[in-house]
Structure 1
Amino acid sequence: MPAKTSKVLLVLFVTIFIDLLGFGIIIPILPTYAKDLHATDFEIGVMVACYALMNFVFAPFWGSLSDRIGRKPVILISVAITGLAYVVFAYADILFLLFASRTLAGIGSANISAAQAYIADVSLPQNRAKNFGIIGAAFGLGLILGPPIGGYVKENYGVSYIGWTIALLCLFNFILAFFLLSESLKEKNKQSKIQLNPIKDLQTALRRDTIKEILWLSFGFVVAFMMMQIPLALLWKEQAGFSDEQNGYAFSFMGVVTALSQGLFLGKLNKKFGEYKLILYGCIMLAIAGIILPLFASKSLFIPFELLGIVLLGLSSAFFNPALSAMISKSVSMQEQGKILGINQSFGSLARAAGPALGGFFYGIDYHMPYWAAALLMVGVIYWATQIPKILHAYKSIINKD
């Protein structure tokens, strides 16, 4: 990798990490804080879904805008909106403001699609899966450091301090990106249509044989993953008696797994197995995690059995997401990468809206149900994944043959 590319990717990694650190801080405390404000399990799921729904509406818009005006301006705009969202969170002492904060954060969540397009701009095709792992590694590190910070601050100082902490991180992130992040898109697409119509964008993408099957595969995986992840804080608090701070450490462990696997091993694994097999292995691990997590959620069984479920959950995402992004990016031109990756994020956002809502609904019935329903869904997703080599003839050159 050229030194210039390595330096750019390092700056981008820090930018993404700071953004996802804020996300990591929120994960363990949002469900329990919403409970403190008398939210039901279903309302908690809907609250998480609001973030994802706004991401669905705005991700293609931000992606198309990044194709037209460049990646850097879109990243800066998203960081500013996210900072404002956490200022609202600092004042959120009623459910309405909590919903408003998560909705605004969803609108500003353009960083990932713009960052994916940025990485695609500066990476050689054979290095994209490895470089896409930078996003996963940043997410993993955000999960390592964010949850313990969130749990500790909530337990010792209160929720408003969390909002102000993340808002200050966003301000620092904006300054860092403004001065150190260079523009990666050399040939801007002035013809890129800027419209707020995610349904139309999805319809267009789903008519393209080279990517529609992978988009549906991603949808099923993300629904199942979110059905498992979102209720975890409630599961561990109610079944294992964990505090918010202890929940934070459990999420942090999952972040260690994700960061190490993507930051250290993903490139080698991709060379050995290829994108298709990494996707398939990620699906299998997620299905097994869904069986394990609710069975061993008590404090006496947490080590080693529940930890195994957490490891599988972290590895499933670490394998699946970068490999899938690399596959999609190889199927379109550079001028379309921002838009198509934005559409993928948007489609994934529909899944991230459906998954928490379903998870909250099932959890309200029985704490086993969201996990076992997700595992059952993954059986179908695994079958679909096994059909990819037969369906996507256009990918024969990028899928490793057995």
Structure 2
Amino acid sequence: MNDQCSNENKVSNWCVVSMASIPLVMTLGNSMLIPVLPIFEKKVGISSFQTSMIITSYSIASIFLIPVAGYLSDRFGRKIVIIPSLILALIGGLIAGYTSWKFNEPFTWIIIGRVLQGIGAAGAAPIILPLVGDLYKDDDEKTSSCLGIIETSNTFGKVLSPILGALFAAFLWYLPFFSISFFSLISILLVLFFIKAPKQKEEPVELKIFLKKTKEIFTNEGKWIFTVFTIGIFVMYVLFSVLFFLSDILEKTHNLYGVKKGFVLAIPLLALCISSFITGRKIKGDLKLMKKIIMFSLLAIAASVSFVGFASDRLIMLLVVTSFLGLSIGALLPTLDAIITENIEKEERGTISSFYSSSRFIGVAAGPPLMSIFMKNFLNGSFIAAGIIALIVLGMVVIFIKAEEGPQLEEATI
């Protein structure tokens, strides 16, 4: 069995599995807690807003440290950054789980553990995007296909998350925290044994030169880059707002609890996963196709998210609307990954893709706490506002992402 990745466009299946395990584990580390937040609220004796901070604290830590991790991975190597980050995620899960088990008032320690997990997530999952680009070099078709697998692993984690979270919590309410550590350990072993990143042939650039080049990229290509960042923030905000809302409404309105609730939550996420997988296999570095996918997806998001609140009292209609929303978001995610990864030079790829990953975490962090506020007095209005924002972002795509000069990213002006 080939136990390593080569740098000659021959990437072993186990290498791909190992890379895919990282976003899977990091997604489980966050999304698995969403269906059990109402349980945490009761067991720990905290408010709905405080429970939302269990998700947000993880994401805030990631927002600020992902760009740092991206620079370090460009300078010292991807694997050197990934493994210590996964170890931190493991430790964070142990802290959150142990204090929930032994302490009478564990909320502060849970947040500390979640911050450590967020730091771990910052140095693990985002580094996979530039690593894929490194391994496949200039082969856009293979890069897009592998990125589709990576993003599908991420979305598959979202499908598994509500089921596993509810299942673990049915045994012990704090067991999801410990499970995150277990999954992190598996990913650590896979990375150690099966990933061998390409060796750097040149000395890494000095920090001063690196900052200058990064500034030049944002100056010259900033319009399309910031457009992609904005889409990333927006779609993750919508996704985690809707998931937080569903977790609450399925119990309070539809009397669904535990594993049954987890399976229902998984339905729109399964749609997201399938859409992500198919899109990743179809785009193949074709920028014109990518732009069309982004535009149609934003239109579909605008149409579907506006009706989420109105469908909340009818379970079947709610699942239809949120599943359509999941299909739309699923088509967007691998497309955005491919645009960022395939159109940035290797030397700056880690940093730029990390800024993109960081922008996505802004949406993750904002979604649950804002939705906990909106659910009280501004539910339908908040979803309609999200639909309007989707149309505004669509306008940005039309203006700032250009794809007239050729079908491949290397030949296109974005």
Which TM-score tier does this pair reach, normalised by the shorter chain?
Answer: 0.7 to 0.9
Residue 319 of structure 1: CA displacement? 1.3
SS in 1 for 2:35: coil
1:291-310 aligned within 5 A: 291-298=306-313, 301-303=314-316, 305-310=317-322
Provide the residue aligned with 2:118 in structure 1: 106
Q: Is the 8 A contact 2:25 2:180 kept in 1?
A: no
Q: Report matched runs for 1:1-400 at 5 Å.
A: 3-34=10-41, 36-90=43-97, 91-92=99-100, 93-109=105-121, 110-123=123-136, 124-155=139-170, 157-184=171-198, 186-187=200-201, 190-191=204-205, 193=207, 206-210=218-222, 211-268=225-282, 274-298=289-313, 301-303=314-316, 305-389=317-401, 398=409
Q: Secondary structure at the match of 1:29?
A: helix
Code of the residue aligned with 1:101 in structure 2: it is G
Find the aligned partners of 2:381 and 2:213 in 1 and give their Cα distance: 34
**Is the contact made by 1:228 and 1:370 (CA closer than 8 Å) also made in structure 2?**
no
Higher relative contact order (CA 8 A, sep 6+): 1
Question: Structure 2 CA distance, aligned partners of 1:366 and 1:201?
Answer: 44
Letter in 2 for 1:356: P
14-23 or 356-365, which deviates more: 14-23
In the superposition, the TM-score normalised over structure 1's length comes to 0.86
Higher mean displacement: 324-333 or 222-231:
222-231
Corresponding residue for 2:4? none
Deviations 1:231-283 (A, max 9, x none): 32112222222213233112322332233223345322567862111212222
Structure 1: runs of 5+ lacking an equivalent: none
Unaligned runs of 5+ in 2: 1-7
Conservation of the 8 A alpha-carbon contact between 2:54 and 2:114: yes
- Whether the 8 Å contact between 1:117 and 1:338 is mirrored in structure 2 is yes
**Using a 3 Å threshold, how does the CA distance of structure 1 residues 311 and 192 change in structure 2: closer, same or farther?**
farther
Q: State the superposition RMSD in angstroms.
A: 3.1
Distance, in Å, in 2 between the alignment partners of 1:188 and 1:236 is 55
Report the Cα offset of residue 40 of structure 1: 2.8
Query: What secondary structure does 1:314 align onto?
Result: helix
Q: Is the 1:45–1:361 contact (alpha carbons within 8 Å) kept by the matching residues of 2?
A: no
- Separation (CA, whole Å) in 1 of partners of 2:243 and 2:144: 24
Deviations 1:24-43 (A, max 9, x none): 42231135413543333333
Counterpart Cα distance in 1 of 2:218 and 2:405? 15
Q: Is the 1:129–1:326 contact (alpha carbons within 8 Å) kept by the matching residues of 2?
A: yes
Q: Which amino acid aligns with 1:259?
A: C
Question: Taking every aligned residue pair, what percent have the same amino acid on both sides?
Answer: 18
Q: Distance in 2 between matches of 1:3 and 1:70?
A: 19
Which whole-Å CA distance do the structure 2 matches of 1:139 and 1:19 have between them? 8
Aligned-partner Cα distance in 1 for 2:45–2:385: 26
Q: CA 1:66–1:296 in structure 2 vs 1: closer, same or farther (change >3 Å)?
A: same
Letter in 1 for 2:127: A
Contact in 2 for aligned 1:89/1:163 (Cα 8 Å): yes
Matched residues in 1 for 2:404 and 2:69: separation?
A: 30
